[in-house]
Amino acid sequence: MFKKVLVANRGEIACRVIRACKEMGIRTVAIYSEADKEALHVKMADEAYLVGPAPSAQSYLNIDRIIEVARESGSEAIHPGYGFLAENPAFIERVEQNGIVFIGPNSEAVKAMGLKVEARRIMKSAGVPIVPGTVDPISSLDEAKKVASEIGYPVILKASAGGGGIGMQIARDEAELEQAFNMCQKRAQAYFGDPTVYIEKYIEKPRHIEIQVLADKHGNVIHVNERECSIQRRHQKVIEEAPSTVVTPELRKRMGEAAVAAARSINYDNAGTVEFIVDPNLNFYFLEMNTRIQVEHPVTEMTTGIDLVKWQIRIAYGEKLALRQEDVVINGHAIECRIYAEDPDKNFMPSPGKITKLVWPQGEGIRIDAGVYEGWSVTPYYDPLLAKMIAWGKDREEARIRMINALRSTVIEGIKTNIGFHIGALSHPLFIEGKTYTTFVEDMKNYK
Ligand code: MV4
């Protein structure tokens, strides 16, 4: 096994990866920016290196410096976490050119899934269902009109270089299409430097359900069930759970097989996630593939007993997947709440500051993946995710009650958080009934 791994990230995910390494007897190397000198991941790692000033572009995205630290420290592999450089094919290539192992997929697979219209074409050829629409970029308004009238309104325009919801535009009729097309193209250029857009049929009241996959470098691919991630605000997930209340064993098998086919079609290796959009009639369609470990991976771990981060490391080292599909068994239910430093009274804007008091909950089935500690100051430079609280129960109701109790007994002072939102959401009849659509946050406000 690797003797030393560099963790090219910060916050809770860096801490999570360091924990996996420690459990495997691997020495850990942290990197940090000037704003993160006292951060938890720096304290947890065996060694830590300054990589640059606070802005990510000069620190956590500073490829030259990160490679230099890996070489200087004698790290044999780099775990990128999520975000930052995790899905950057140029970074993966640089890592490999320096004789270092990237703990993640091969760069070709990442490249293939980075352009969303290209990903749709690949999935269509692989027999994975995609939302009706184009597998070629749309280059003019006339073409957009033609395609939209063929698939029927409403339609959604998306940036090919985008993903995660940024720049998307809905058009409910031909009159709305012109503005939507221009806006989408403009945003695609502004945000991603690539004006390429494509069109899909707009699915009303969808759920976002994703399948976790694990693939080794020897051709073995399995899926590790679904996560329901429909509860989001501004395209940012806030509550996730596994299993989904609407996925039957038969649907799980079909979605799982589609996800495995998706991974196989691009020679995927390591942990990955195939995102599907699921309509109210439970038709499912490929949306995107995330070629990284995801924030919400703990709900899969808690319901299967499979440590996904340890498998990432073993797979990168070249080990064969010792798990067969029939070894993946669901045990109980898990719910994750993302605890953000956000001010609910200011439209959930980030709320940095010093954490003057911090008491995490305890109890059967409760897991906290935190990136902060009492006395530390949350800075405005990075994602405001403080921690993830995960509750496991023998069934959904037990997990829900445990989560509400855990949220209620958490003490965070000095900064504002979204804990109150979570308590409201988990206590809401729509959540209790499992009516978790992507419109949940709105539905909750409009209830009765
Ligand atoms: C969609 C959709 C409806 N139909 N695609 C948002 C996140 C990204 N991964 C995919 N997203 C969506 N894709 C089709 N064909 C609805 C969403 C969606 C959404 C879209 C616009 C504004 C807010 C949204 C909130 C949740 C989901």
User: 189 alpha carbon to ligand 1 midpoint, in Å?
Assistant: 19
Residue 221 and residue 314 in one domain? yes
Give residue-wise pLDDT tens across range 301-346: 999 999 999 999 999 999 999 999 999 999 999 999 999 999 999 9
Q: Given this model, what pLDDT does residue 164 score?
A: 74
Q: In terms of Cα–Cα distance, which of 116, 98, 95 is closest to 107? A: 95
User: 169 alpha carbon to ligand 1 midpoint, in Å?
Assistant: 9
End-to-end CA distance of the chain: 57
The average pLDDT across 68-75 equals 98
Our mutation pick for probing the ligand 1 site, out of 191, 286, 287, 440, counting the most ligand atoms within 8 A of Cβ, is 287
**Partners of 198 in beta bridges:** 158
Q: Is 383 helix (H, G, I), strand (E, B) or coil?
A: coil
Q: What is the CATH number of the domain that holds 55?
A: 3.40.50.20
- Cβ distance 276 to 285 under 8 Å? yes
Q: Given this model, what pLDDT does residue 148 score?
A: 96
Q: What percent of the chain has pLDDT over 90?
A: 96
**Partners of 369 in beta bridges:** 388
Ligand 1 pocket, Cβ-based, cut-off 6 angstroms = 131, 156, 164-165, 168, 200-203, 206, 235, 277, 287-288, 438
Residue 149 and residue 267 in one domain? no
Query: Whose Cα sits closest to atom 11 in ligand 1?
Result: 165
Residue 234 and residue 283 in one domain? yes
Q: What percent of the chain has pLDDT over 70?
A: 100
Query: Whose Cα sits closest to atom 9 in ligand 1?
Result: 164
CA-to-CA distance for 69 and 64, rounded, in angstroms? 9
In a domain, 67, yes or no: yes
Position 98 pLDDT exceeds 80? yes
Element (H, E) at 51: strand 47-52
Residue 95 and residue 13 in one domain? yes
The average pLDDT across 258-275 equals 98
Q: What is the CATH number of the domain that holds 185?
A: 3.30.1490.20
In a domain, 254, yes or no: yes
In Å, how far are 6, 96, 307, 359, 414 from 10, measured between CA atoms?
12, 22, 20, 21, 21
Domain that holds residue 75: 4-103
Domain end, chosen from 103, 118, 145, is at 103
Q: Given this model, what pLDDT does residue 165 score?
A: 80
- Cβ distance 170 to 154 under 8 Å? yes
Q: Considering only CA atoms, give the Rg of the chain.
A: 21
Adjacency order of strands within the sheet including 77-79:
47-52, 27-33, 4-7, 77-79, 101-102
Residue 390 and residue 249 in one domain? yes
Q: In terms of Cα–Cα distance, which of 295, 278, 315 is closest to 101? A: 315
Confidence label for 49 from pLDDT (cuts 50, 70 and 90): very high
- On the CB side of 360, CA atoms within 13 Å amount to 18
- Cβ distance 103 to 316 under 8 Å? yes
Helices 419-427 and 396-408: crossing angle in degrees, nearest 10, is 150
Residue 79 and residue 42 in one domain? yes
The average pLDDT across 66-94 equals 98
In a domain, 326, yes or no: yes
In a domain, 118, yes or no: no
User: Which of 22-31, 81-90, 191-200 comes out lowest in average pLDDT?
Assistant: 191-200
Give residue-wise pLDDT tens across range 164-182: 788 899 999 999 999 999 9
In a domain, 109, yes or no: no
Residue 178 and residue 41 in one domain? no
In a domain, 217, yes or no: yes
In a domain, 115, yes or no: no
Give residue-wise pLDDT tens across range 6-39: 999 999 999 999 999 999 999 999 999 999 999 9
- The mean predicted confidence, pLDDT, of the chain is 97
- Cβ distance 225 to 328 under 8 Å? yes
Q: In terms of Cα–Cα distance, which of 124, 104, 120 is closest to 112? A: 120
Position 448 pLDDT exceeds 80? no
CA-to-CA distance for 7 and 65, rounded, in angstroms? 13
Q: In terms of Cα–Cα distance, which of 328, 83, 368 is closest to 224? A: 328
Q: Given this model, what pLDDT does residue 162 score?
A: 83
The sign one gets for the Cα dihedral 331, 225, 278, 80 is positive
Residue 319 and residue 430 in one domain? yes
Position 247 pLDDT exceeds 90? yes
User: 165 alpha carbon to ligand 1 midpoint, in Å?
Assistant: 6
Give the catalytic positions in this structure: 292
Residue 169 and residue 294 in one domain? no
Strands of 59-99 (E only): list them: 77-79
In a domain, 290, yes or no: yes
Residue 228 and residue 297 in one domain? yes
DSSP class per residue in 150-161: HH-SSEEEEETT
Q: What angle do CA 287, 292, 297 make, to 5 degrees?
A: 90
Q: Given this model, what pLDDT does residue 263 score?
A: 98
Q: Given this model, what pLDDT does residue 112 score?
A: 96
Q: What is the CATH number of the domain that holds 308?
A: 3.30.470.20
Atom of ligand 1 lying closest to residue 275 CA: 9
Position 398 pLDDT exceeds 90? yes
Residue 378 and residue 405 in one domain? yes
Strands of 348-431 (E only): list them: 349-350, 353-354, 357-359, 366-370, 377-378, 385-393, 411-413
Residue 441 and residue 384 in one domain? yes
Count of domains observed in the chain: 3
Give residue-wise pLDDT tens across range 120-175: 999 999 999 999 999 999 989 999 999 999 999 999 999 988 877 888 999 999 99
Q: In terms of Cα–Cα distance, which of 6, 151, 28 is closest to 85? A: 6
